[in-house]
Structure 1
Amino acid sequence: MTVASARYSPLYFLASLGAGGLTVTFFMWLMFWVPHPGQPVPIFEDNLALMSTGTLLEQALVLGAMAGIALFAILNIKLLIWNLRRFSAFRRSDAYAAFSESNAGSQILAMPLALAMSINVGFILGLTFVPGLWSVVEYLFPAALAAFLTIGLYALRMLGGFIGKRLSNGGFSCEANNSFAQMLPGFALSMVAVGLAAPAAMSGNPVTAGISIIAASFFMVAALIVALVAGILGLRSMMENGVNAEAAPTLMVVIPLMTVIGIAMLRINHGLHVHFETHGSAGETLMLLTRLLSVEILFALFGLMVLSRVGYVAQFLRGSGASAGSYALVCPGVALSVLIHFWLNKGLVAAGLVAKFGVAYWAISGVAIALQLSMILLVWMLSRRHFTPVQTPAITA
């Protein structure tokens, strides 16, 4: 028996999400360190070319990235399947009725969030390991749009059911809403948006790109509205009742939300530039990414301060407590690492402020890599705590 099995929560979908996020961090190595002329993302052939002609260090970086992508993609899919099975059983249990009637009912949005991430992971696997994929990629984009739209509509249905029941019957406890846990649905919608935005950045077909831009924009706006309302309600409750110590990691959910929204905006802007004569400058991109990074740093400082005040690490990471919500700590570190890569390469380098592969470049890249390695360590620690068989798991609600 494991802790995760003994007291299942839909928040364990965040374990799959975190592994998917780490897959993305390794793809950043290929995205910005492997030359990929002819297409906006690196593909198998680009990796192979650098492996054949690159220096020993370049070859090691490519091999390391590919190994990391393969390892965490497998973990992502494994945890997704485990969660889908456990969630199916959970929905048939007596405990689900009480769960769905409580504030925690919105946690079911962690499922479409994880599903959307896994589709992104699948695309990364295809780009990295499948020869000749780019020759048929235009046929894959409509399928990807259909998949993300299906997940997005499912997420909206889940969210509508949760909100509709509270608006018609009441029962939502504002006193118990003393965290940013209700921002999870906004995060889920933003993950759908960034997936829908991918064809805008990569497709050569204006119709495909146009559909991508419109659909992604809808879900991006929906995500921001949901997150803004949830954030205001959560902050009011926290100021009145103090933060829920176990849910304290949710205070940093703004960080992955900003990264995902930022990438979606970059993809949309690229599609508008290529297909619809809307041209932005490198300076505008730098300012967009700098503002997003500023928001993330502020919320990271805020979240870490609160975690320290409530003794979260001592209780849930080192002590006897175990909470599925601890996996919410992985997303901010991963997201901050990814955004630093984009800020450096699409912002500072593109604007001419930093020379690519210079000393300053590697110093800033080192910060992103340090965050990435820290999150790998955190995932390992959480896996031991939650998925290692124990005799009598210590569990807190």
Structure 2
Amino acid sequence: MKFVKATSIALCVLSSIGIQAQPLDNTPPGGGIKNLQIFSYDGQDRTTIYANGNMQAAFDIVYELAPDHVFKSAVLKKYNTEESLASWVQSSTENQYLHSINSSMRSISARSRNIKKIYLSRNTPASVEVCVELTATKNGVDSIKSTCIPGSANASVYVSAIAPKYLTKDNFELTDWGSATPINKYVAPSTGTWSNEIREQVLRSKGNAPTILSIESDNLLQGGTSALFVNKSLVSKYIPEVAPSGVSHIMSWVALPSKVNKIDFVENVGLNEYWGYTLRRTIPYYFKDDPTYVFSLVTYVLRDDKFLYDHVYNHYALCGEKVGNNNSGVRVRDCQVRGNLAQKAPVYGYSQSQINSWKVERLKGSVNVIDWYGTKSQLNFGVKYMNDVYSDIVLE
């Protein structure tokens, strides 16, 4: 009886100070996750990507949780060992590139409402079999389950990251000068030959090349309307003291319809003439909707005795080869710089030493193209001498 009495008193005391029994969560470890599977994004158990740091292998993590449990996290690991994936980059954010070398599909319909997507990339070739560890939580208590131990269906995906395939000039074609679309042309009355011509050359991919998604260039015209002379050219070939009918200078800039529509420039009006106007012209972009279109080159060719110099204030200045004396007896060349539209461009006399410091030759230039696998390839451009009156921008 004493024992019963003491127990009763103890129960009463516990009740009086407010200590109440808490409900127990009898969920066994991992029991909050009823089902867990992993697939590649196209439903397969293996996938291949390029090891270029951009292309992502995509995985669907399909799961089912017990009542009142909520998803907390999911992480990919090595199958069998559950080790972390060193040198692989995991992300929950999808980029714009394809997820498999063998498929051009971007996504597959989800097989379940409860699905999480994980993306995996790397910079160097390697292969790994991946599994998934998922954590769910209920009332602050975590439940963890993985597919990393052999024995369950759809527990792993084998991923191969192989060396990228870089594109070369053989994968592209550049419109030559003779077939390029005219933007502006001036025929000098004093010579009867054209002395200024601007054309749009177009770079297109050939049938064996993957789709190009974007480009990178330091010589890209931008801003809706762009002045040619305030952007560094991709290529610049300067031929001093050219024959009157020869090409004296050829320059080219990169252009995209999403970046620039019109150009401003000073027109070269011929041998020993200096009354060229500042003009504005529209870039045609006739091939912009062609699925093989990559970008355009706005190429400016001068003949007779004119050259473009990298002027320190107005950037490129259009200068003549002829040298004369100014009012102080100093030997100078007359040069025009960009001015108001549809008006004669301003003319200044500059000493030869000044002009020599501005002279620009950029005999080679490069543009990076990024394909739909995320591989970045460098294309090189240069100037090819054809004859005394003709040169061309070419892929090298």
Greater length-normalized contact order (CA 8 Å, ≥ 6 residues apart): 1
Q: Larger Rg: 1 or 2?
A: 2
Higher helix share: 1
Superposition TM-score, scaled by structure 2 size: 0.22
Superposition TM-score, scaled by structure 1 size: 0.21
Higher strand share: 2
